[in-house]
Chains A and B, each alone.
Chain A
């Protein structure tokens, strides 16, 4: 069991470091926006992001199956992780830029279950919104899932793993959730800039443009999300000890 976990951690670190490198390469400027609208990515880019997202979904589904068999007691907690994303995605909040966006809620689940499981739960929320609310889209599902359900959870997971024990748990949870939220939208800006490079300034000019729309808008929302995640995490700490112990999250 232990060694099995180590193996996946190694794998995860490999994949994770690739994305961290990718993000450091592009995204120092914080950017923020909502999901990419239906039909607003050219077909090839739609396909590209699906191809990237699919392996995460597969690993995520395998891990959900495994965790449900090995630790059936945390099944309801899985529902809570998904539900948290569900709620936060529904809350379109005003921001200082004078436009609205919504938080993502993926940080909590990533801390509890790891990023792969969250990639599945986040995608389910995206499908719901794409099908019923015309928010996001099916053709852009791969791209939106990559930003919200993959990059966000991985950011949260690495912050959590990297800082836990060095700072108080509350602060680490806050940082993990807030940066997962922010970097989701940085990723959205990158995706849009890749698909729509500016005719004169190219990728960079486009990225700055989308980044401004999404980044500044998202900053206050990311802070709110961080705080809300801390509140739920604390409530779990005081009421769901066995489950958190089963997930190795109790104490500190």
Chain B
């Protein structure tokens, strides 16, 4: 039972990895893998060439490196919380069942 659960977990993780890698092989050749929000910005300019954003971000990451730092921090903090919780619960369960 546990082996079966582990197996399906691994398969599911592999599917996610394939889904993430697949685009590099089947995307159009001119693909730049830029953000979809940037594409939307272009579309807006196309529809209404006179549109001017009326507000700018209060703070912009000074460089791409800093931006990636902040994004990885975001992911790290989030997964830290998730796995702290799961580990805590699991430890508690194992301890209480061994008594």
| Chain A residues proximal to chain B, CB less than 8 Å | 32-40, 42-43, 76-77, 79-80, 82-101, 128-135, 137-139, 192, 196-199, 206, 209-210, 213-214, 217-218, 220, 223-224, 227-228, 230-232, 234-236, 238-240
Are A89 and B74 CB-contacts (below 8 A) given A98-B28, A98-B30, A227-B16? yes
Our pick among B5, B39, B85 for the contact of A80 (Cβ within 8 Å) is B85
The CA-CA distance from A137 to B51 in the complex, in Å, is 17
> Per a CB cutoff under 8 Å, which of B39, B47, B55 touches A39?
B55
**What is the CB-to-nearest-CB distance from B99 to chain A, in angstroms, rounded to a whole number?**
17
Q: In the complex, what residues of B have CB within 8 A of residue A230's CB?
A: 12
CA distance A63 to B79 in the complex (A): 25
Which 4 pairs of residues, A with B, have the shortest CB-CB distance?
A98-B31, A39-B53, A87-B78, A86-B78
Of the residues A42, A82, A199, A239, contact of B86 by C-beta under 8 Å: A239
**Known contacts A94-B27, A139-B54; can you find 9 more A-B pairs with CB under 8 A?**
A33-B36, A39-B56, A87-B75, A90-B75, A99-B38, A132-B59, A135-B37, A217-B36, A240-B86
CB contact under 8 A between A239 and B93, given known A98-B32, A196-B44: yes
Contact with A along B39-79 (1 / 0, CB 8 A): 11101101110010111111111000001001110110111
Inter-chain contact A130/B19, CB cutoff 8 Å: no
Let me know if A43 and B54 touch, CB within 8 A.
yes
- 7 A-B pairs with CB atoms under 8 Å apart are A86-B74, A86-B81, A97-B27, A97-B28, A133-B70, A199-B48, A214-B40
- Chain B nearest CB: distance from A202 CB in Å? 11
Q: Once the chains bind, are B78 and A213 in contact (CB under 8 Å)?
A: no
Considering only CB atoms, which chain A residue lies closest to B79 in the complex? Answer: A87
**Which partner residue on chain A sits nearest B91 by CB separation?**
A239
The answer on a CB contact under 8 Å between A99 and B35 is: yes
Residue from the list B12, B34, B85 in contact with A99, Cβ < 8 A: B34
Distance A198 CA – B60 CA, assembled complex (angstroms) = 30
Residues of A within 8 A of B93 (CB): 239
Pick from A34, A128, A213, A217: contact of B74, CB below 8 A. Answer: A128
Q: How far, in angstroms, from A32 to B31 measured CA to CA in the complex?
A: 17
Write the nearest CB–CB distance from B35 to chain A, whole angstroms. 6
In the complex, are the beta carbons of A84 and B53 less than 8 A apart? no
**When the two chains form their complex, are residues B72 and A196 in contact, meaning their CB atoms are under 8 A apart?**
no
Question: A130–B57 Cα gap in the complex (Å)?
Answer: 7
A232 to B34, CA, bound (A): 29
Q: Indicate if the CB atoms of A79 and B85 lie closer than 8 Å.
A: yes
Contact of A90 among B43, B54, B56, B74 (CB under 8 A): B74
The one of B5, B20, B58, B89 that contacts A138, using a Cβ cutoff of 8 Å: B58
Decide: A35 and B37 in contact? CB cutoff 8 A: yes
Residue of chain A at shortest CB distance from B52: A39
